[in-house]
Structure 1
Amino acid sequence: MSEVTSPSVFRRLFDRVFPKMPDFFTLLTEQCQHVGITAGRLVEFMETGDATVGQLIRQDEHEADRVKIRNLHTLNEAFSTPIDREDLYRAIIDLDEIVNYCKTTVSEMEVLGLAPDKHCLEMAMHIKLGTDALSQGYSRLAKEPAAAAADADAARKAERRVEKNYRRAIAELFVGDDYIHMFKRREIYRHLSNAADRMANCANTLHDIIVKMC
């Protein structure tokens, strides 16, 4: 009888002392996918100005918080990680911040009574392309981390396109004397720029992880 039960007792003891490593690759990929969904809705909102889509983005922000908290809790409780803990933390926080800025953009447009314009749409489209690249890159880490370097570069290029569009938008905006409108619209452009900044941070973190793994 003891020969049958001993392995089970040993296994339970081993699992308590050395708990199974969480699958952080899957957790980050899932978080990226959530961000990609929100970025897609941001593009749709900038195309249509549909308040229903704006509401979905606000709901996404609550779901993003749930995913962030789950991932942070898993990180805090993990005995060991396949990726540097600081890199994991940075990725989790910055991915969540992209969603936060998408939500802030939509909410303030509605509060300030601003409709989408061509610059908002172009920036949103590049943010979507960048988040898609991040999703693909983080999903590759488990099996082909070196291949994810191209995805990190693609996300950084998307951020640079947002910044170029931001500068063009500001140059066009500050012409004339409707200063109230200028400052309102600038706030919206800045939120989109901030979302792109967080996207670039995620790309930099992805590249750091690749270097350490390869």
Structure 2
Amino acid sequence: MDENTNEQGLKRKKYGIFGSFFPPKYDFEAMLVEQAERTLAGMEAFTRWMNEDTLTSPDALIQIGREVDLHRYNLEARLLEAFSTPFNRQDIYTFSRNMDYILNHAVETAREMHAFGVIPDEPIREMSQSLLHGTRHVLEGTRYLGTDKGRVEDSIRKGRKHVHAIEDIYITCMADLFQTNDAMEAMKKREIYYHLRGGGKALRMTLYIMHKAVVGLA
């Protein structure tokens, strides 16, 4: 039995008897993997931009964000057309939407840093790195949805560590920020910290939906 035949057999087993009568018209798992890959590429572009000596206009990052949005819109349109899905339809939508929020927060962070003239400090760099690593674990888990529960759960555990790291860094840097005498600088930094924390919340929700899907597929 070749690999493709075996994979088709696994999918038939996963979808059950109704899936054999009404097979999925679209490969939503592949679409989610592609979105996760594009989201990770966007996060990698974001961290590269963050490490530039002089922060240039984040036009390239904004364009990546728009392209990922188009991919998500396409997935949502297919959800409306599909009779059956590999796991809960609402979970697919929420998973895709929150994954998109991760990159959206990164794009807004870059736009505001450039507009406000905010130079990345250690908390900004650390939260950005945690978002990058967390997104990498989202991609790893998404690749094994429906085929390897253990690997998905391992990716979720690793991703959650970065969620906690972002929250810890945010609380610490905000406490330090409240001690500064430069009110204008504090206001600018607060906006940036808040967006990165928002990315962490989107990462948390993405991992939650992934876990919910794994439980449903078990």
TM-score norm. by structure 2 comes to 0.86
Counterparts of 1:191-206 in structure 2 under 5 Å? 191-206=195-210
The answer for the alignment partner of 2:172 in structure 1 is 168
1:29 to partner: Cα distance: 0.6
Does 2:148 match 1:144?
yes
Task: Say if 1:61 and 1:99, in contact at 8 Å, map to a contact too.
Answer: yes
The equivalent of 1:126 in structure 2 is 130
CA distance in 2, matches of 1:201, 1:181: 31
Residue of structure 1 in register with 2:94 after alignment: 90
| Alignment correspondent of 2:189 | 185
Q: Does 1:103 align with 2:111?
A: no
Counterpart CA distance in 2 for 1:188 and 1:149 is: 31
Match of 2:58 in 1: 54
TM-score, reference length from structure 1 = 0.87
Which protein is bigger by CA-based radius of gyration?
A: 1
Is 1:44–2:16 an aligned residue pair? no
Please give the root-mean-square deviation of Cα atoms over the aligned residues, in Å: 1.6
SS of alignment partner, residue 85 of structure 2: coil
Distance 1:94 1:117, change over 3 A: same
Shift of 1:117: 1.2
Is 1:157 the counterpart of 2:171? The answer is no
Over residues 6-53 of structure 1, what are the superposed CA-to-partner deviations in whole Å (9 max), with x where a residue is unaligned?
Answer: xxxxxxxxxxx9464311111111111111111112221222255457
Match of 2:84 in 1: 80
Superposed CA deviations along residues 123-177 of structure 1, whole A, max 9, x for unmatched, are 0100011000000001001421332011112111111101111112112222232
Q: How many residues align?
A: 198
4+ aligned runs moved over 6 Å, structure 1: none
Q: 1:145, 1:22 → 2: CA distance?
A: 22
**Alpha-carbon distance in 2 for matches of 1:171, 1:78:** 49
Pair 1:86–1:33, CA change in 2 (3 A): same
Alpha-carbon distance between aligned partners in 2 of 1:27 and 1:58, rounded to the nearest angstrom: 21
Taking the aligned partners of 1:212 and 1:100, their CA distance within structure 2 comes to 28
